[in-house]
Amino acid sequence: MSSKKYITTPIYYPNASLHMGHAYTNIVADTIKRFNLLDGKDAVMSTGSDEHGQKIQSKSKEEGESPKAYVDKIVKNFVCLWEKLDISYDFFNRTTSSNHEEFVGNIFTKLQNKGYIYSGTYIGYYCVSCETHYSEEKYLENDKKCSNCGKDLKRIEEESYFLKVSEFNDWVKEYLEKSIDITPENRKKELINNFLNEGLRDLSISRTSVEWGIPVPNSKESTIYVWFDALLNYLSGIQYDIEKKTAKYWDSDTNIVHILGKEITRFHCVYFPIILKMLGARLPDKFIAHGWLITEKGKMSKSLGNIIDPISVIQEYGSDPLRFYFSNNIRFNEDSKFSIDLLKESYNTNLVNLYGNTVSRTFKMIQNLYDGKVPKYYESLVIHSEFKKDIDELFSSYLENFRNDDSIEATKKIIELLRKTSKYIDESKPWTFKEKSNEISTILNLCFQATYLASTMLMPITTRGSQKYFNALDVKTPSLFSDIPLSFDNIQIIDKINLYDRKK
Ligand code: MSP
């Protein structure tokens, strides 16, 4: 098993503020990263902004600003949102950084020298909003509209450099079929059937009519296609060495996972691996291509006017409810509704009633009978061993799920553990014990163990609430799962606790 983990998110277009859909992707990535840190891995995460291209060029013009001044302003808001959501990224990749621009130029030259790039004339159609090319056939098939965003396609005819991806059609098909993990599985078939079976066409990777881009080396009039530029952020950000073909987080001891929305699977799972193959670089281990957040109007997006602004939701609810909602309610393989009512219901049911109440009931009972000092666990009292076994098993399954990057299944285990704890409290009725005894001591110790374990398991998800839990104890917050104590006897509860307030 690798000792390092590199998790990436797409780099977002700074043509508008980010919405809940972007927040969802980054929360998933951050949650997986935090789990891996607790699990003892050297885990890092990258995110960033995709700042070149026709779309940004036009948008900044509309706003009467230079493209750079415009993106600088918007990118500040990205950083601010990630801070509010506790997104602990290690690399924030801006494609206008000099490091990245130089890197992309060098890769272009490298591939040109290897004979993978040639010049010609591009004739075809283009979606400016998605920065995506369409062939004549696809243009007609899709009723002259972009199949992703539905906007009108524009005809382009201009001199261009092409990347010889067609030579890699069979290779990439085999790569998808045999050696790569794409979650959910059905995206593989979609790519192969809708795209590779027809045969790949060489990709136009430069534009003469777009000024706002990285210049093609040794060319006065061309800039590099924004997707070729953007995909390389995954390498430039971690200082990938083109000659040595490696980086600290791009080597055989790193598990590399890319997280993205399903609409950009083709760029990530077809073009990016081909570019890596051309460079002789190691290939990623996994792509998680998740579904969309939708409302009644369809995919949440600025153009449909149905976006929900995460900042106002965080102001009202805090970040934990959102982070929890995305871990507990949304499966990667489906499009899912998102609304404030659903968020509120998930928050009240799970964080307030289940987690919050179980913790405060447990703390109160220990405070009443044992002055807040966790009483001893008597192993000999086998009557309670079933519950002990349950919580241990749920913890093991949680680890297994999360080690497969399945944060959704892992979260279900936490909920199950809390439900079992709440039921255990109801059935063993600790409040009926008026005197100290080995039995009540064991019951309360077990309840405490369960809340401690649940809080540790929640650490990658509800960053604030779990910290609040540990702050109420006289022991250090665990920074690794291996810090979980073997015995909970005598831990002192030093404070009253109210983890979450109910929302009306
Ligand atoms: N700049 C490209 C990505 C380049 S990565 C090398 C891009 N940017 S984007 O701003 O359009 O962001 C798209 C991504 O944002 C999606 O792939 C997804 O991660 C996230 N989402 C945007 N809207 C979303 C939903 N409605 N639902 C879920 N995720 C969404 O594409």
Q: What is the 3-state secondary structure (H, E, C) of 260-300?
A: EEHHHHHHHHHHHHHHHHHHCCCCCCEEEEECCEEECCEEC
pLDDT tens digits, one per residue of 396-413: 999 999 999 999 999 999
Query: Which ligand 1 atom is nearest residue 263's CA?
Result: 17
Q: Does the structure show a pLDDT above 80 at 459?
A: yes
Q: Using CA atoms, how far apart are residues 106 and 423, in angstroms rounded to an integer? A: 61
Give Cα separations from 503 to 84, 316, 347, 452, 500 (angstroms).
20, 10, 8, 25, 9
Q: Are 61 and 1 in contact (CB under 8 A)?
A: no
294 CA: nearest ligand 1 atom: 26
Which atom of ligand 1 is found nearest the CA of 293? 27
User: Is the domain 4-290 a CATH 3.40.50.620 member?
Assistant: yes
Residue bearing the CA closest to ligand 1, atom 17:
261
Whether 4-290 and 340-483 share one fold: the answer is no
Query: How far, in Å, from the CA of 23 to the mean position of ligand 1?
Result: 10
C-alpha dist (Å) from residue 406 to 35, 151, 189, 327, 392: 11, 34, 21, 9, 19
| 383: confidence class by pLDDT, cuts 50, 70, 90 | confident
**Residue 412 three-state SS:** helix
Note the maximum CA span of the chain.
88
pLDDT at position 278 = 98
- Which residues lie with the beta carbon below 6 Å from any ligand 1 atom? 10-13, 21-22, 24-25, 50, 230-231, 233, 260-261, 263-264, 292-293, 299-301
> Is residue 329 within 8 Å of residue 337, measured between CB atoms?
no
Q: What are the structure tokens assigned to 182, written together? A: 């794409």
Rounded to two decimals, the pTM is 0.96
- Atom 5 (ligand 1): residue with closest C-alpha? 10
Phi, psi at 146, each rounded to 5°: -75, 130
Is pLDDT of 32 > 90?
A: yes
Distance CA 470, CA 288 (A): 32
Testing ligand 1's pocket by substitution, the residue of 15, 25, 130, 146 carrying the most ligand atoms inside 8 A of its CB is 25
**Which atom of ligand 1 sits closest to the CA of residue 291?**
28
- pLDDT band at residue 453, thresholds of 50, 70 and 90? very high
Q: Which whole number is the average pLDDT over 469-479?
A: 97
Give the Å distances, CA to CA, from 112 to 105, 123, 194, 205, 287. Answer: 11, 21, 29, 12, 28
- Which one of 7, 15, 93, 264 would you pick to mutate in the ligand 1 pocket, going by the greatest count of ligand atoms within 8 A of its CB? 264
Residue nearest to atom 9 of ligand 1 (CA): 12
Tell me if the domain spanning 340-483 has CATH number 3.40.50.11810: no
pLDDT digits (tens, 9 = 90+) for 286-336: 999 999 999 988 899 987 889 999 999 999 999 999 999 999 999 999 999
Two tokens at 41?
A: 């891995």
Rounded distance from Cα 273 to ligand 1 centre (Å): 19
Q: What is the pLDDT of residue 21?
A: 97
Q: What residue ranges do the domains of the chain occupy?
A: 4-290, 340-483
Cα(26) to ligand 1 centroid in Å equals: 10
